[in-house]
Amino acid sequence: MIQKKVCMVGAFATGKTSLVARFVKGIYTDKYQTTVGVKIDKKQVEVEGTEVTMILWDIHGEDEFQNVRMSYLRGASAYLLVIDGTRRSSLEVALNLKAKVSESIGNIPFIAVVNKCDLQDEWEIDEKDIARLKAKDFELIRTSAKTDIGIEHCFHRLAEKIINELPQPA
Amino acid sequence: MTLPQAIAEYLVTLATQQRELAYLQVTEEGRIVSCGGHLHHYGLQKVEAGEQISDHLSYLTGFFPHPTANEVIHYLQTEQGLTVDVHLMSHADEQWVVLLDSGVEARKQTEIQQIGNELALLRQDYAKLLNQYQHQLGNQYSSQQHTGQQHTGQQHAGQQHSDDQPPGNQPLSVISGTHSVSLLAIELYADAECAQFSTSSPSSKSSPFFRKSLPEVDLPTTNQYFAKISQIVVEESGLMHSIFGKRAIALFGLIPTTSHQSVYTSIRTAKRLLQQFSALADPDHVEAGHRDSLAIGLGITTGEVSIGPIETSPGVQVLNIFGPAVLAVYELGDVLSPGELLVDAATFTASDRQQADFKRGSPFDRSGLYRLTPK
């Protein structure tokens, strides 16, 4: 069994905490509760016969009060870049954070998650934005913590990417 | 800086007792060398030298080897629900992990940040609404231009609307379908009217609005009241839609709020207004002969309405609202009495736990209306 640190990164109120709560505890609440600092959770997944314990760092969102400190990503094996589909501003924040992470800790595996797909009618992120992200070789997954869409898939894909990055036995 | 012994001891006591200080010395690779302090507070039991620190504190997975620069991870909430400041420090080739409980500070920080972020979301929602409104106007104008060209042939092909060329009068349009709102009718009454209400039978109150000439109530007095009323309405995320004579109509539910419940905010606003003006509806106050004061009566209706802008003159737009709840709020305004709050059945039903504050029909037995009962 291996233990790997995985970070949740994105603007505030994009649903990072809700994604983790849905994935780890299978619960969801509509009430927005801001994250101060970091929340730690743990979940074990199996990928290609290998048990991976994901130590989830749900890092506070980038907002008027706090900038995400890159030192918090030290030792991370992968991260989820979370975008709120209903707020275009969260896309710009995500792109800035992605650049900062790459500069600070290098190009570790990540998946861009466009959350709140249950509110598709209210989305400000459109197909052009999606195409723009795909053009940057972002792996994109649409999720909804509320209706439990894409959650298992995105974390599982992240675990696969982690496994693929491991050094092959000689 | 050398601290006086008393201060140094005080700080140590503060850290060890109030913030549950615990420490672990580790190697560069994160293997435990020694440990001490309030380890049990952080769930650290049976810690032995040579063990990997991440086996005990899983959140430090991947952190070692750690650079020599000191670092603090603020407000780290563990799986067990503890909030900890994790200090990673180096001193003379030794590496230390120091844990301090930061639950109290985190709770304070959370309260402030929660309000700040909710307001930021509110601003974003409001900006989105305004964009939607402008987009709608733009589409509407383009459509009208197109129609105008077809019917009159007076405009040149390719003519575009620009900021310095405002569109002409426009028909009613709908911003985005229907909205669930609450409408609050606010009626002002002069002392003479209050006195009349206190002595007349309910059946005689069919049309109190401007029933009696009240020369003692002048425009500045009325405006002062409406200025204060408008302030309270806006504070509660309402829109003051119209003021006409002694009646104002406020709208709740169009501006996004953190509660997202137009009924709650409208009732809360009405209660605030009643409290603010309650003394003026008191019969004793009326009999005391106050001539420059006004009393207030309030009514709330709730329902789906359509909202659209009308351009009344170039560059001047007013918001029109239509739907059964609008008609109802005007009818409700006509049957109000000083010092009372009446709500329609839809408002009462949606008011949920506030229903206990209202009684149906009492004391005037008005069909389908509920009256706030005094506490």
Q: Tens digit of pLDDT for each residue in A44-73? A: 999 989 999 999 999 999 887 778 999 899
The parent domain of residue A78 ranges over: 2-165
pTM score, whole prediction: 0.61
Predicted local distance difference test score (pLDDT) of residue B113? 85
Predicted local distance difference test score (pLDDT) of residue B152? 38
Predicted local distance difference test score (pLDDT) of residue B284? 53
Q: Per the domain annotation, does A170 fall within a domain? A: no
Residue B286 CA to residue B160 CA, distance in Å, equals 61
Predicted local distance difference test score (pLDDT) of residue B68? 72
Q: Per the domain annotation, does A27 fall within a domain? A: yes
CA dihedral A54, A56, A57, A60 (to 10 degrees): 150
φ, ψ at A33 (rounded to 5°):
-130, 115
φ, ψ at A62 (rounded to 5°):
-75, 120
Predicted local distance difference test score (pLDDT) of residue B186? 94
Ranges of H-type helices in B64-207:
103-152, 191-199
Residue of B nearest to A89 (CA): B124
Please list the helix, strand and coil fractions of chain B in percent, rounded to the nearest 5, in that order.
40, 25, 30
Interface test with B, best of A2, A36, A73, A165 (most B CBs within 10 A): A36
φ, ψ at B169 (rounded to 5°):
-55, 140
- CA B281 vs. chain centroid, Å, equals 29
Q: Determine contact, residues A146/A118, Cβ cutoff 8 Å.
A: yes
Q: Determine contact, residues B175/B137, Cβ cutoff 8 Å.
A: no
CATH code assigned at A101: 3.40.50.300
Predicted local distance difference test score (pLDDT) of residue A84? 97
Q: Per the domain annotation, does A80 fall within a domain? A: yes
What separation in angstroms does the CA of B13 have from each of B24, B86, B97, B214?
19, 19, 19, 73
Q: Determine contact, residues B38/B21, Cβ cutoff 8 Å.
A: yes
Tokens representing B227 are 């200025």
Q: Is A25 on the interface with B (CB under 8 A)?
A: no
Q: Per the domain annotation, does A134 fall within a domain? A: yes
Chain A residues whose CB is inside 8 A of the B77 CB are: 37-40
**Collapsed DSSP state (helix, strand, coil) of residue A45:** strand
Chain B residues whose CB is inside 8 A of the A61 CB are: 117
Task: Identify the DSSP state of B21.
Answer: -
Predicted local distance difference test score (pLDDT) of residue B294? 79
Beta bridge partners of A83: A114
Sequence-distant (≥ 6) Cβ neighbours of residue A102 within 8 angstroms: none
Predicted local distance difference test score (pLDDT) of residue A27? 96
**Collapsed DSSP state (helix, strand, coil) of residue B245:** coil
Residue of A nearest to B106 (CA): A36
- CA B56 vs. chain centroid, Å, equals 44
CB-nearest partner of B79 from A13, A41, A53: A41
How many structural domains comprise chain A? 1
B contact set with A (CB within 8 A): 54, 58-59, 61-64, 66, 71, 73-79, 83, 106, 109-110, 112-114, 116-118, 120-121, 124, 128
Chain A residues whose CB is inside 8 A of the B99 CB are: none
Residues of chain B with pLDDT under 50: 149-174, 199-213, 215-216, 281, 285-291
Residue B188 CA to residue B298 CA, distance in Å, equals 9
Residue A23 CA to residue A35 CA, distance in Å, equals 17
Q: Per the domain annotation, does A14 fall within a domain? A: yes
* Cβ within 8 Å, pair A71-B71: yes
Predicted local distance difference test score (pLDDT) of residue A78? 97
Q: Determine contact, residues B323/B304, Cβ cutoff 8 Å.
A: yes
Q: How confident is the model at residue A110 (pLDDT cuts 50, 70, 90)?
A: very high
